Structure 1
Amino acid sequence: MEQTVLSVRNLTTSFARDGLWQPVVRNLSFDIRPRETLAIVGESGSGKSVTALSIMRLLPPTNSRIAGSINLMGRDLLRLPDEEMRRVRGNEVAMIFQEPMTSLNPVLPVGFQIVEALMLHRGLTRVEAEAETVRLFDKVRIPAAKSRLGEYPHRFSGGMRQRVMIAMALACKPKLLIADEPTTALDVTIQAQTLELIKTLQAEEGMSVLFITHDMGVVAEIADRMLVMYHGDVVETGETAEVFRNPCKPYTRALLSAVPQLGSMTGRERPMRFPVVDIKTGEADTPVETPDTIAQADRPVLEVRGLTTRFDIRSGILRKPAGCVHAVENVSFSVQPGETLSLVGESGCGKSTTGRSILRLIEPRAGTILVEGTNILSSSARALSEARKKMQMIFQDPFASLNPRIKVGNAIAEPFLVNRMGTRAQARDKVADLLVRVGLKPEMASRYPHEFSGGQRQRICIARALAVEPKLIIADEAVSALDVSIKAQVVNLMLDLQASLGLAYLFISHDMAVVERLSHRVAVMYLGEMVEIGPRAAVFGNPQHPYTKRLLSAVPVPDPARRRMARSISNAEIKSPVRRLDYIPPVREYREVSAGHLVQSWGEEWAA
């Protein structure tokens, strides 16, 4: 029988709290064989990352305690002296973390950081280490590898920074690679590139992989076997294909049913709620299409024409403009009352800048923004304040959006009171009503933000946005950071609120499967420009622009049967929107493919 690379038995990890040891991982056991990928799946707080940190012995010994056994190639890591464990890390076991920017030293060139590790762990000379670093950069498909050794982390895109981290992890040819949510914060195309890269390198290097994630689509894409965790306990384990085909436990069924699947809306005209699953029983309701919410109004609630937002790049002692970032370039669209228009694209394409420009949180250079017929770009401060009552924004990180020192009831009441919409007594009644409306309890108003989960905090941000009774909500990656089941709950809440209040949404996201579920229309952005816009069914069912096709083809499919299929993934970075000061953008032409479905004509850059 082939020897296991890693054998974990009865792993229990506890943290000290109020003088007592509280276990957060209980009696966890699993094996990883050579060249095998095991995925640990679960939501935030399930104990996935603590398991990985326990294996690496990276938890602080002052307030953590690890029991059980962790055998790596026959050696129990929990019994090794600290000096010996330091040699194991990197040499035999390597780890990739979720956020590469916090894992890389921002003041050191990326090449030096890998060269230093090679000289320390493998005893190479500087010349040998630099040559090996170039080879590693080539292996992880970093373009112009030799010329980028001297660049700093901030000069790399998110996907390229993650490639640097993978190169660093592979530097000492480990037997086991632990990847802790390495694709969660990445765009869909960069995520696809990273997954393909890990699979390719695993085949070339003969590594075993422990992959930690909450994304079932990623699990289906990469894992041979999977282990499902819930609140520190193992719920279910088995071959990935078998667990997907025949999940035994209610929680596993709940996780699988909450996964948005691209193509699930084929043949449906209107948005549809996600199925709600009882975690205890695994029983799911039957989701239905939302009612027709788009009102036949005389004018759109939002009309954007020729919106252009640029940022000067200044250099030299006098800080003179040396270039310009064309963040949003001549973008036009409208949103009807009760309609959801989604803006999709990769990081840096201008989605968030568009949303912030509409609210004038960023000042546009040119264009027209009409809110119920009023041009807010030429409005006075008072008129702008009145217009902002009709538009509210929900941001990606709910914890950063809430003041940690202010109770959530006061945070929700603040816009109501600032805009003088009622008395303090009326504000208290309004807060209680809004908390109920977003699925929370009125008595929760006296709590602080840290006392809520991520999904609950996002509900609080939605309640605060509703306090001034807006007509339009701009949701900027509002569900991107949430676990799959919490994401489904928040999307369902947004659809319910749209049906009951007639809200219009400008939904900004890179999650194509969620966008397909809740959108009436979809607009695709690339390098600040809109390359395709149309009804959701038309854009997803008949994509025309090569970039739209690339986005859709990169979405992970939660079907383990497709795991062995080779996918054609572009390794190209998104191009820079930085231009010379004298740059004149080309005049773009659009053709109408079908009713309301417009596509930008493209040139030689997309010919391949």
Structure 2
Amino acid sequence: MTDDSTRVQPVLSVENLTTSFKTQEGWKTVIRDINLHVDAGETVAIVGESGSGKSVTALSTMRLLPPGRSRTEGRILLNGTDLVKVSEAEMRKVRGGSIGMIFQEPMTSLNPVYTIGNQIAEALVLHRGLSWKAAEAETLRLMERVRIPAAKTRLHEYPHKFSGGMRQRVMIAMALACRPKLLIADEPTTALDVTIQAEILHLLRDLQQEENMGVLFITHDMGVVAEIADRTVVMFRGDMVETGKTNEIFAAPKAVYTKSLLASIPRLGTMGDTQAPKRFPEVDSATGEAIDGREMNTVAASVPPILKVDDLAVRFDLPHGRVHAVEHVSFDLRPGETLSLVGESGCGKSTTGRAIIRLLTPSAGRIEIAGEDITKAGMRELRAMRRKAQMIFQDPFASLNPRITVGSAIAEPILAHGLMGRRDAKDRVAELLQKVGLAPDMASRHPNEFSGGQRQRISIARALALDPKLIVADEAVSALDVSVKAQVSNLMLDLQEKHGLAYLFISHDMAVVERMSHRVAVMFLGEIVEIGPRASIFDNPQHPYTRRLISAVPIPDPERRGQTPPPLTEEIKSPVKSFDYVPPKRTYREVSPGHFVQNDA
């Protein structure tokens, strides 16, 4: 990177960007006087709280905000051309051509009625002029490059058959298809586990060097910022509060908000000898200094489990074979305990969680909640079970009805189970919104009026509405920026301590898992390969995949950049097997009390 005196014209230059939205009260300004530039071959990160204006800055740059309801002022120069002034027809050529964009929520960005291969190939036909046959061959190469297993057989599948992480990899392939000069990446690794995240970051870095591509990287993961960003822009409530070289901002932040943002980062390996979960650091709002959180309660081994899973299997039949999504999964979970399920995207974590809540029908095995077998339960039994067990879903936008207000969404289970009248339910909704850090008057808004992180908090509030004893939290804090992630994680820990909640915590964020967990189960290709107390798993990992998972966690320190493991070269095994395939029965050895590792590595 060169200094300002010798710097050539940047790929992107944003000057005094101000964006407003039309409301019932008039025009409301959401970002003010944003100034930044991205040079060829340079990565600039935008960080800040959920709702700070990061994504609005990106959408303004791409001219993707709704016309008539939004107003953009200032200049957005792409290689010297002001995108604010060009026609919509010219912008269509820019989008996907000169500028590629990876969106935050892949399921809402992919068209559900077209195959994955068709959607990637379309960009190649439109922007690179390839024939459909050549575009399909290039699509297959792109899918293999972002490490989608069995890419050739999955080329003609639809988005709903892909996991959240797999869909994000499709979005990355689509954004890179036309070799753009500028890539805008809006939370591109949010849905990815740490090993795939490390590989995607390696991939983006390699492509950036090959194409001399500028990258505007929007994220709440400060470890990722430390790993890849040359410069960092910090945003807070629509304003730029600090900008500079990444290593200088991490070493000596000037703004109080930047200090608090860095202080909130959960760092791997900071638990010491603590056996139980530990609250995230509390940040002094005046100084930005962090005070480490207290240790939470341990769980008595004599307490009977709220959840028992025995030899669970979930399989899906396809025309050409059978997907063995989950095989031979067994564990139990006690009141007041958190068991974290970690592993690669597509390894079966979410499928396990959905099967436990009976949103999927198990193919084999037994599931007991509060001593009752729900494996073959009917509608009446399942309705009663959902008073005891609730789920927080991975994609908050897809799990909220866009046609009803969030207040109605939170009140819906309360009213459906006849727990309260409408007036009391309204008060309960206001209380739940406050618990997750949102204002009670937000109950009258619709889901599209919230940021991704705010929608996740609404999903948590809805899951708490029935006072359940078991919560399956599927990436419950993955969409939250670091400061809100700490607040919501502390809220979950406090609720657990107060009400004896049991959490099956499905996550790819290993630093959060280390703070939140009593025990950890590591999944790989649908099987648990290692399970044990949190300290045993993190301090003495035995399975090769567990060791790789921990080593892939990005370190929030720019001075230690480049220490993530190199990307894997072998293809990920496919979970699709022939119809006559019989999964082998696994055996485990006990490394230490309660710490088991699969013998078949």
Coarse TM-score class (shorter-chain normalised): 0.7 to 0.9
Query: Cα distance, 1:345 vs. partner?
Result: 1.8
What percentage of aligned pairs have identical amino acids?
62
Letter in 1 for 2:271: M
* Per-residue deviation, residues 487-517 of structure 1 (Å, max 9, x unmatched): 2111101111122222222212222221111
- Give the corresponding residue for 2:304: 299
Question: Which stretch has the larger CA shift, 516-525 or 278-287?
Answer: 278-287
Is this contact kept in 1: 2:533–2:594, CA < 8 A?
yes
Matching residue of 2:499: 501
Report whether the alignment pairs 1:7 with 2:7.
Answer: no
Q: Distance in 2 between matches of 1:332 and 1:433?
A: 39
Q: Which aligned pairs between 1:106-125 and structure 2 lie closer than 5 A?
A: 117=123, 121=127
The Cα shift of 1:375 comes to 3.5
In the TM superposition, residue 425 of structure 1 has moved relative to its aligned partner by 10
The reply to whether residue 23 of structure 1 matches residue 29 of structure 2 is yes
Q: Secondary structure at the match of 2:292?
A: coil
Question: Of 210, 235, 247, which residue of structure 1 is paired with 2:253?
Answer: 247
Aligned match of 2:3:
none
Which residue in 2 is equivalent to 1:235? 241
Q: Which 10-residue stretch deviates more, 29-38 or 135-144? A: 135-144
Cα distance in 1 between the residues matched to 2:502 and 2:186: 37
Aligned residues of 1:346 and 1:510 also touching (Cα < 8 A): yes
Structure 2 counterpart of 1:541: 539
Q: 2 CA distance for matches of 1:429 and 1:20?
A: 28
User: One-letter code of the match for 1:576?
Assistant: S
Alignment of 1:64-103 (within 5 A): 64-81=70-87, 85-100=91-106, 103=109
Judged with a 3 Å threshold, the aligned counterparts in structure 2 of structure 1 residues 472 and 179 are, in CA distance, closer, same or farther, namely closer
**Aligned Cα RMSD in Å?**
3.9
Q: Given the alignment of the two structures, is residue 187 of structure 1 paired with residue 184 of structure 2, yes or no?
A: no
Name the CA shift for 1:325/1:243 in 2 (closer, same or farther; >3 Å).
same
Instruction: Indicate conservation of the 8 Å contact 2:429/2:443, yes or no.
Output: no
**Residues 91 and 265 of structure 1, relative CA distance in 2, 3 Å threshold:** same
Q: Is the 8 A contact 1:438 1:462 kept in 2?
A: no
| 1:601 is aligned to 2:593 | no
How far apart, CA to CA, are the structure 1 residues paired with 2:30 and 2:505? 36
Aligned to 1:199: 205
Per mean C-alpha deviation after superposition, the further-off stretch among 14-23 and 527-536 is: 14-23
CA displacement at 1:226 relative to structure 2: 0.3
Matches of 2:123 and 2:270 in 1, distance apart? Answer: 47
Q: Who is 1:349 aligned against? A: 347
Q: Secondary structure at the match of 2:225?
A: helix
**Matched position secondary structure for 2:84:** helix
Secondary structure of the structure 2 residue equivalent to 1:78: coil
Kindly provide the amino acid, as one letter, of the partner of residue 213 in structure 2.
M
Q: Distance in 1 between matches of 2:379 and 2:111?
A: 43
Q: Distance in 2 between matches of 1:149 and 1:328?
A: 19
Q: Contact 1:409/1:431 (CA < 8 Å) preserved in 2?
A: no
Following TM superposition, by how much is the alpha carbon of 1:476 offset from its aligned partner in structure 2, in angstroms? 2.4
CA–CA separation in structure 2 for the residues paired with 1:107 and 1:602: 40
Which residue number corresponds to residue 522 of structure 1? 520
Amino acid at match of 2:310: R
Give the whole-Å Cα distance in 2 for the aligned partners of 1:597 and 1:267. Answer: 16
Q: Residue 193 of structure 1 contacts residue 571 of structure 1 at CA under 8 Å; is this kept in 2?
A: no
* 2:43 counterpart (37, 58, 61): 37
Counterpart for residue 309 of structure 1: 314
Structure 1 residues 226, 217: CA separation in 2 closer, same or farther (over 3 Å shift)?
same
Per-residue CA distance 1:300-344 (angstroms, 9 max, x = gap): 22222222233344x5xxxxxx74332322221112232111111
**Does the CA-based 8 Å contact 1:480-1:511 persist in structure 2?**
yes
Q: Which AA in structure 1 matches 2:355?
A: S
Task: State the one-letter code of the partner of 2:72.
Answer: I
Letter paired with 1:247: P
TM-score (normalizing by structure 2)? 0.85
Q: Relative to 1, partners in 2 of residues 1:464 and 1:23: Cα closer, same or farther, differing over 3 Å?
A: closer
- Decide whether the 8 Å contact of 2:50 with 2:452 is kept in 1: no
Count residues in correspondence.
593
> For 2:515, what is the secondary structure of its paired residue?
helix
> Aligned ranges for residues 189-588 of structure 1 at < 5 Å?
189-279=195-285, 281-292=287-298, 294-297=299-302, 299-313=304-318, 315=319, 323-377=321-375, 388-398=386-396, 401=399, 424=421, 431=428, 435=432, 438=435, 447=444, 450=447, 462=460, 465-466=463-464, 468-565=466-563, 567-570=565-568, 574-588=572-586
Distance 1:569 1:268 in 2: 32
- Cα shift at 1:589: 0.9
Deviation at 1:539, TM superposition (A): 0.7
C-alpha contact (below 8 Å) 1:39/1:212 kept by paired residues: yes
Stretch of structure 1 that moved more, 75-84 or 333-342: 75-84
Q: Distance in 1 between matches of 2:19 and 2:422?
A: 48
Answer yes or no: is the 8 Å Cα contact 2:521–2:528 preserved in 1. Answer: yes
TM-score by length of 1: 0.84
Q: In 1, Cα distance between the equivalents of 2:479 and 2:588?
A: 34
Deviation at 1:67, TM superposition (A): 2.1
* Alignment partners' CA distance in 2, 1:81 and 1:437: 44
User: Counterpart of 1:184 in structure 2: which amino acid?
Assistant: T
SS of 1:349's equivalent in the other structure is: coil
- TM-superposition CA deviations, 1:399-443 (whole Å, max 9, x none): 65566677777766665676676x759966993896499367996
**Which deviates more from structure 2 when the two are superposed, residues 540-549 or residues 132-141?**
132-141
Task: Show CA shifts across 1:186-238 (max 9, x none).
Answer: 33222222111111111222222211222212111110000011122101101
Q: Quick one: which amino acid aligns to residue 479 of structure 1?
A: V
Q: Aligned partners of 1:494, 1:67: CA distance in 2, in Å?
A: 41
Q: Distance in 2 between matches of 1:58 and 1:593?
A: 54
Q: CA, structure 1 residues 213+415, in 2 after alignment: closer, same or farther (shift >3 Å)? A: closer
Larger Rg belongs to: 1
**One-letter amino acid matched to 1:196:** H
Letter in 1 for 2:239: D
2-side partners of 1:234 and 1:569: how far apart?
35
Q: 1:8, CA displacement in angstroms?
A: 2.3
Q: 1:49 to 1:506 in 2, by over 3 A?
A: closer
Structure 2: unaligned runs, 5 residues or longer? 1-5
The one-letter code matched in structure 2 to 1:557 is I
* Contact kept in structure 2, 1:523 and 1:534, CA below 8 Å: yes
Q: Secondary structure at the match of 1:598?
A: strand
Residue 318 of structure 1 corresponds to which residue in structure 2? none
CA contact (8 A) 2:234 2:243 kept: yes
For the structure 1 residues 590 and 163, does the alpha-carbon distance in structure 2 shift closer, same or farther, using more than 3 Å as the test? closer
Q: 1:456-492: CA deviations, max 9, x gaps?
A: 6656655555555543322222222223222211110
User: Which 5+ residue runs of structure 1 have no aligned equivalent?
Assistant: 316-321, 604-608
Distance 2:416 2:135 in 1: 60
Asked if the contact 2:355/2:361 (under 8 Å) is kept, the reply is: yes
2: CA distance, partners of 1:562 / 1:540: 20
Q: 1 CA distance for matches of 2:148 and 2:211? A: 18
Cα deviation digits, residues 133-169 of structure 1 (max 9, x gap)? 7776777677898x68964564877666656655554
**Closer, same or farther: CA 501–442 of 1 in aligned 2, 3 Å:** farther
Inter-CA distance 452–126: structure 2 relative to 1 (3 Å threshold): closer
